Structure 1
Amino acid sequence: MAPPDLRERLAARQHTLQQRSAELRERLAGHAVALAPAFTWADRARDGWRWVRAHPWVPLALTGVLVLRRPRLLWRGLRLSWRGWRLWLLYGGMVRGWRAGAGGRWPPR
């Protein structure tokens, strides 16, 4: 059994740590307010994605209307997507190499 003096010191230390923890939680909540708009946007994007996954016929119908009404616009979008994909294949490895610390060497060794 621990001596009474040690128990008192431990209880005081526990109380001090609990106060500090409460203070840090309050500070964190204050700082998190600045991030609320970003989290709100992310939540809305996630909810929109879930809606599209639950209603896959909507994007398909919109694509069908686009094909029938504006085929040139659709081809332009496909061409742009293809170019973007090719650029990603060409330069994506270089970017990954820089991020991994390859020192700008291309191709990374």
Structure 2
Amino acid sequence: MRAFVFPGQGSQKVGMGLELAEASAAAREVFEEVDEALGQKLFQIMKEGPEDALTLTENAQPAIMANAIAVLRVLEREGGFTLAQKADFVAGHSLGEYTA
């Protein structure tokens, strides 16, 4: 069995998503889409901080969700499968329920 569990607020960390974005065009696209939709440079805050800015709810929640969606997009485009195809269970804590 495979389960995917998605985190909630409090799991944010300066530098989150950076390695994924450096390794994957699919991930970079997600972060660019989120920046455009929000009208701000959220990914810059995710990469560089400051931590107090990333911890703000209005930044932390979209950052956590963007990071999870970026991982899913990479799995889909570069791994060749979708969550629906491979997951027997999905769950999320708090905000992570939306991603799940």
Q: TM tier, shorter chain?
A: under 0.3
- TM-score under structure 1 length normalisation: 0.23
Bigger share in strand: 2
- TM-score under structure 2 length normalisation: 0.25
Bigger share in helix: 1
Bigger Rg over Cα: 1
Higher relative contact order (CA 8 A, sep 6+): 2
